[in-house]
Amino acid sequence: MAELTYRDAVAAGIAQEMARDENVVFLGEDVAHAGGVFKATVGLLEKFGPRRVRDCPISEQAILGAAMGAAMTGLKPIAEIMFSDFLAVCWDLVANEIAKTRYMTNGQITLPLVIRTANGAGSRFGAQHSQAVENWAMAVPGIKVVAPAFPADVKGLLAAAVRDPNPVLFFEQKSLYSMKGEVPDGEYVDELGKAKVLREGRDCTIVALALMVHRALDAAAILEKEHGISCTVVDVRSLVPLDTQTILGEVARTGRLVTVEENPRLCGWGAEIASIVADECFWDLDGPILRITTPHVPLPSADLLEDNTIPSVARIVREIRDKID
């Protein structure tokens, strides 16, 4: 085990797959010579050369189109969209083309590609560089949606995404890039569609994703220590496919469900999980489901405002206490 940052785990995951398979190629804006604006792809150009690691113009449609055309003809591209907010300028490629082509062609075309993108708040970048948009992707049939919270998961899930024969949207939480964690040495491949139970409790199951996983863990520690409320914390890791069995099992055991989401209120992924839980383990619930989300507003920029918009540890503690006490 080596200690790597979340950003170094990105480069490690890509490097592992590029070394293994000559057909894995990597493209994006400022990804090669500059090593990425978040420095998450430093060293790849030097290791694999300009034929396989390519800088692109500011042309998100061209980047995703190129990845799609390359994937349908034998390559396994990893494309970077610098900020997930920019998915809006190439959403046609994601939602209409990449996600639907296999189905529309009745299986004639397979698209083994990965779209990596920096997602989420915490960097004071304002409403067009800080959104959490994983719920946009989750609403489109035909694309897998992954969002790791830890460096080890970044490497392992990225490798799994590259090896998956389907298109995968891989959301990296940008304020986690400097976070450090143990990452297995050597070849490491995880599995898509498996949630992880990070903490076991008796009173409540908190389901969270990416940055919110860390806040949920901190909140659970405070709730246990200061308020005697014992919480399970589930890191969803992958929204599509969704590990409903782990979630339903934990909710049935604790009798409570809390989701913690960065998404604005309406149609956040927690709403889908709440719906599944209400449908399938209603009689195991001891009380109403609680969704903790960002209010339904565009994200403000000032640190004071941003910190009070996305769910904080203090807010998670408060809302769970209010609900359970």
Site for another protein, rule CB under 8 A = 25, 51, 54, 56-57, 59, 61-75, 77, 92-93, 96-97, 101-110, 112, 141-142, 165-166, 193, 240-245, 276
CA distances (Å), origin 282, targets 75, 137, 274: 46, 27, 10
Question: Which residue lies nearer to another protein by CB, 194 or 321?
Answer: 194
Which residues 6+ apart lie within 8 Å of 140 measured at CB? 94, 95, 99
Question: Which residue lies nearer to another protein by CB, 80 or 306?
Answer: 80
Question: Which residue lies nearer to another protein by CB, 39 or 196?
Answer: 196
Q: How far apart are CB 112 and another protein at their closest, in Å?
A: 8
- Give the closest residue to 273 by CA, choosing from 239, 230, 297, 323: 239
Q: How far apart are CB 219 and another protein at their closest, in Å?
A: 26
Q: How far apart are CB 211 and another protein at their closest, in Å?
A: 24
- Give the closest residue to 248 by CA, choosing from 239, 237, 257, 240: 257
Q: Under a CB-based contact definition with an 8 Å cutoff, are residues 80 and 37 in contact?
A: no
Q: How far apart are CB 85 and another protein at their closest, in Å?
A: 17
Q: How far apart are CB 289 and another protein at their closest, in Å?
A: 18
Which two structure tokens, joined as six digits, stand for 217? 């863990």
Q: Under a CB-based contact definition with an 8 Å cutoff, are residues 177 and 210 in contact?
A: no
Q: Degrees (nearest 5) of the Cα angle 108, 114, 115?
A: 120
Q: How far apart are CB 108 and another protein at their closest, in Å?
A: 4
CA distances (Å), origin 145, targets 19, 92, 238, 292, 301: 24, 17, 6, 21, 27
Which residues 6+ apart lie within 8 Å of 302 measured at CB? 124
Which two structure tokens, joined as six digits, stand for 80? 């970077």
Question: Which residue lies nearer to another protein by CB, 276 or 324?
Answer: 276
296 counts as catalytic: no
The 8-class DSSP code of residue 75 comes to -
Question: Which residue lies nearer to another protein by CB, 89 or 324?
Answer: 89
Question: What is the DSSP code string of 3-43?
Answer: EEEHHHHHHHHHHHHHHH-TTEEEEETT-SSS--TTS-STT
Question: Which residue lies nearer to another protein by CB, 225 or 282?
Answer: 282
Task: Measure CA 152 to chain center.
Answer: 13
Q: Under a CB-based contact definition with an 8 Å cutoff, are residues 119 and 239 in contact?
A: no
Q: Which of 33, 129, 227, 296 does the annotation list as catalytic? A: 129
Q: How far apart are CB 26 and another protein at their closest, in Å?
A: 12
Question: Which residue lies nearer to another protein by CB, 55 or 284?
Answer: 55
Residues annotated as catalytic are 129
